[in-house]
Structure 1
Amino acid sequence: MTTGSERLTGKVAIVTGGGRGLGRSMVLGFVRAGASVVATAARETAEVEQVAREARELGHADRVLPLTADVTREEDCVRAVEAAHSRFGRLDVLVNNAGRGMKYVSEAFLTEPARFWEVAPETWQMVIDTNVNGPFLMARATVPSMLQAGWGRIINISMNHDTMRRRGFSPYGPSKAALESETVIWAQDLAGTGVTVNALLPGGATLTGMIPPGVSSAVRAQLLDPDIVIPPLLWLASTEADGVTGRRLVANRWRSDLDETAAAEGAMEEAGWGLR
């Protein structure tokens, strides 16, 4: 899926976990729309370097800066923000996409749910550090320059409410519920500043690195394409979404046959947990 648009020309984004799955799709979606991107990976440097090569092959030379940076390390988060300013001169959008999923608990999590007391403490800590603390550290490093500019976007990659409450989905479900809370609270903290905070989710199981390799081809064929998030992502990152904050956009509810305002309204709901 491509946009055929340069609507984000001049904008600069950071996409954490930008080397695979949703991250790769979002990086390439941004560059097709005219933006420049710092794509980070904690360890898999070759993956973000490959995304940068793909961008060059699409005719977007030097629009992607691949960077090794671990979102659980404060100094790495600061370095990623500094790299955006040093290379591209500004920073407009932060996409908190880097995450650790249930495959780190068990490769069989889809068929044999693990009870929470069976999760190793170090695994629990790793998932929470990446999925909850990482977005905080990245946002904390990013917000000062956005406040100075009077405009910015923080987009947190979330998931379905049902998965947050799904049996056997600790600590991934609790981590994403916490990220929803961060979204709601940060949006209020930044109200009136020109900096918005929203959540974005595919709307269903997606073909990413979080799906274990043993999943059958029949099941994989039913998974969403990671590119599904690109249209709502680009809308959220644009000036058309000015004033939209504390919301969540569900990508598989976005209707491409509608104008973007109507598509966004149909795909959007209040951030939180759907318990009202």
Structure 2
Amino acid sequence: MNANPLAGRHALVTGAARGIGAEIARTLAAEGATLTLLGRDLDALQRLAATLAGQGHGAAVADVADEAAVRTAFAQAAKERGPVAILVNNAGAAESAPFLKTSAALWQRMLSVNLTGTFLCTQAALPGMLDAGWGRIVNIASTAGQKGYAYVAAYTAAKHGVIGLTRALALEVARKGVTVNAVCPGYTDTDILRTSVANVVGKTGRSEADALAEFSSVNPQKRIVQPAEVADAVRWLCGEGAGAVTGQSISVSGGEVM
């Protein structure tokens, strides 16, 4: 078996500084890919890039919801490392509020980073993939994109949009060597989950352990998903063996969504 199956492939991961994005970057680098880490914290991105297996990795700063910034960052990344062959749209944010207390500003923030950011980054990367006749686009959605959750209407709507975009684009490029898939984690050990736990503790006075148990309870395995488990699903989708898999929403959630 090829020890470096992604050698020669330029992979760009958004929201790469920490959590799931950082783990995806480590996993793809270990497979031989050359990474561009995109996010808003240049120092954190550069520190991570320096630790990745292989050479030639770099960092780029952009807000994924800023069209001009995205196009500039992708153009520079392509100039330095060649056209993007693998795009992982991981950047995202989750804010909660009851529906009637969800402001238009909160609604727009969730759409901007989770859905518009995915759209803009994909538009920036896709031409190079089409020219090469090969590409992998993996959108990190959520089980919230596969079912409903109370008190996160804006986030849930945005993630449903990501899955719809995944399906539509997969059909559009199905005969062009490009696959488009979504990976949908359940509650995962990330900063977003830790913030949610802290919010529950602050609002209810419950212990951190009790709050975490509530999040774990929706997973039939009764546990929190680990970032490495999400990254491994991404790794598989980026390989040659997944060439016939496109338009799918793969749930990494211990059976929460079947």
Do both proteins adopt the same fold according to a TM-score greater than 0.5, normalized to the shorter chain? Answer: yes
Q: Which residue of 2 aligns with 1:76?
A: 69
* 5+ long unaligned stretches in structure 2: 202-207, 217-222
8 A Cα contact 2:137 2:180, kept in partner: yes
Question: Any residues of structure 2 matched to 1:48-197 within 5 Å, and which?
Answer: 48-55=45-52, 59-62=53-56, 64-102=57-95, 105=96, 114-161=97-144, 164-197=147-180
- Corresponding position: 1:24 with 2:18: no
Residues 239, 72 of structure 1: alpha-carbon distance in 2 compared, 3 angstrom cutoff? same
Contact 1:159-1:201 at 8 Å conserved across structures: yes
How many residues align? The count is 237
Using structure 1 for the length normalisation, give the TM-score: 0.79
| Alpha-carbon separation, structure 1, partners of 2:146 and 2:130 | 34
Residue 247 of structure 1: aligned partner: 248
* Aligned with residue 15 of structure 1, among 9, 13, 16: 13
- CA shift in 2, pair 1:163/1:197, >3 Å: closer
Deviation of the 1:190 alpha carbon: 1.2
Amino acid across the alignment from 1:37: L
How far apart are the structure 1 equivalents of 2:146 and 2:246? Answer: 23
Is the partner of 1:249 in helix, strand or coil? strand
TM-score by length of 2: 0.84
1:226 is aligned with what amino acid?
Answer: P
- Large movers: runs of 4+ above 3 Å: 161-164
CA contact (8 A) 1:116 1:168 kept: yes
CA contact (8 A) 1:93 1:154 kept: yes
Moved more, 206-215 or 237-246: 206-215
User: Which whole-Å deviations, capped at 9, do the CAs of 1:234-261 have from their partners, x for residues lacking one?
Assistant: 11111111132111223356xxxxxxxx
Higher share in helix:
2
* Identical-residue share of aligned pairs (%): 30
Q: Which amino acid aligns with 1:176?
A: K
